[in-house]
Structure 1
Amino acid sequence: METVQLDLGPQTTELARVVAGIRDDQLGDPTPCAGTPVAGLLAHVAGLTTAFRMAAEKTPVSGGPSASADDLPPDWRTAIPERLDALVEAWRRPAAWEGIAEAGGVTMPAPVAAAVALDEVLVHGWDLAVATGQDYAADPASVAACTGFAAQAAAEGPTPGLFGPPVPVPDDAPPLHRLLGLTGRDPAWRPPTS
């Protein structure tokens, strides 16, 4: 059986663009991830990029990425794009796709780890974009790959810490909206207005 290798590059490039557009006065703003402000989600993204890079390199790391604003690196504006680039490069190596990988204390087949990494980048990119009033361009191939992964995860039942309960969306909704619904997000979510 041939392993389909996902390309994390298009979506990490988009996430880096979103990160560059976040203003300091938005760090405390809410996101679609209940109880997690923009700074907390940025900290989570900073951590997950490292965790999934290490998974590709077969280097175990203890614990999972934090979603605490207190853990946001002070150099996040440069650190997150650099970590995104390193994540892409790690998954472009053929050995990354072989065997077992570990991320956040969870052991899984390497191709599954890559799918989780892509899903995290894509969906949290949308979370950050919508929370900060930015447009978001989701790569169609990435959306299709993540939708397959999210649909399988939803069919297997709730996975605490991975996705919230699915949110119903119309069958004719855009592909990104269907993915967001599978991951427990309301595609119509917008930050509260004051």
Structure 2
Amino acid sequence: MHPNFDLEPAAAALEAVVGTITDDQLSAPTPCTDTSVRDLLAHVIGLTEAFRQAATKEAVGRSVAPAVGPDSALPPDWRSRIPAQLKALVEAWRDPAAWDGDTEAGGVSAPALVMAAIALDEIVIHSWDLARATDQQLTVDPAHLIVLLEFLRDTPPEGTPGMFGPVVQVPDTAPPLDRIVGLTGRVPSWAR
């Protein structure tokens, strides 16, 4: 199957945000409840590899739910590892075979088309989280906003256990990224 979208713009945006994070920002809070910048960077390392493996199907039958929180170690090479893993993730999803059949990431099985949308969501939302936590601007590819609004449109009000908290109501007239952020249980106006 031909890929429905390219993850590269989202990956590049996350790489840009990560590239400006300083050591003194690692303990800062993020929009993810009880999650510091350090914790979220450790999560990004895990998710980028998990979704790369979802594209190659090598994780099927072996993936496990990601650890998030203060017990997640941030490796000392995170500044080089995250960009490298993002590039590998993008390349893996450019293979048409990545979009075929079912796959698995984080202990969850789903059609590859759905898993690609989840990967996009994870990259964009955590880019937003990290940008907010470190006072940066984030630009999201307009095509990705369309994909994510469609993907998230049926999110139940109570959220999606293991993925998102309860939906935060955002006006339909709000910018697309604000609506997406609200659908993932975040307050668009969040600030440290």
Q: TM-score range by the shorter chain?
A: over 0.9
Alpha-carbon deviations, 1:96-134, whole Å to 9, x = none? Answer: 000011000111000100000000000100000010000
Q: Does 1:24 align with 2:47?
A: no
Q: TM-score, normalised by structure 2?
A: 0.94
The corresponding residue for 1:107 is: 109
Specify every segment of 5 or more residues in structure 2 that has no aligned partner in the other structure, as ranges.
Answer: none
8 Å CA contact 1:56–1:110 kept in 2: the answer is yes
Which one of 91, 94, 107 corresponds to residue 92 of structure 1?
Answer: 94
The aligned amino acid for 2:191 is R
State how far apart, in whole Å, the 2-side matches of 1:188 and 1:151 are. 20
The corresponding residue for 1:12 is: 11
Alpha-carbon deviations, 1:142-167, whole Å to 9, x = none? Answer: 11101111113x14963211111111
The aligned amino acid for 2:23 is D
* Structure 1 segment 146-165 matched on structure 2, within 5 A: 146-152=148-154, 154-155=155-156, 158-165=159-166
Alpha-carbon deviations, 1:52-110, whole Å to 9, x = none? Answer: 00000001143123223542121000000100000000000000000011000111000
- CA-CA distance at 1:4 after TM superposition: 5.8
State how far apart, in whole Å, the 1-side matches of 2:24 and 2:63 are. 32
The aligned amino acid for 1:36 is T
Which one of 129, 135, 141 corresponds to residue 137 of structure 2?
Answer: 135
% identity of equivalent residues:
54
8 Å CA contact 2:158–2:167 kept in 1: the answer is no
SS of the equivalent of 1:162 reads coil
8 Å CA contact 1:3–1:111 kept in 2: the answer is no
The aligned amino acid for 2:51 is F
The corresponding residue for 1:41 is: 40
Cα RMSD after superposing both structures: 1.5
State how far apart, in whole Å, the 1-side matches of 2:3 and 2:45 are. 26
SS of the equivalent of 2:12 reads helix
The corresponding residue for 1:51 is: 50
**Residues 11, 104 of structure 1: CA spacing in aligned structure 2 closer, same or farther, 3 A cutoff?**
same
* Structure 1 segment 175-190 matched on structure 2, within 5 A: 175-190=176-191
Q: TM-score, normalised by structure 1?
A: 0.93
8 Å CA contact 2:31–2:190 kept in 1: the answer is yes
State how far apart, in whole Å, the 1-side matches of 2:150 and 2:156 are. 11
State how far apart, in whole Å, the 1-side matches of 2:157 and 2:110 are. 15
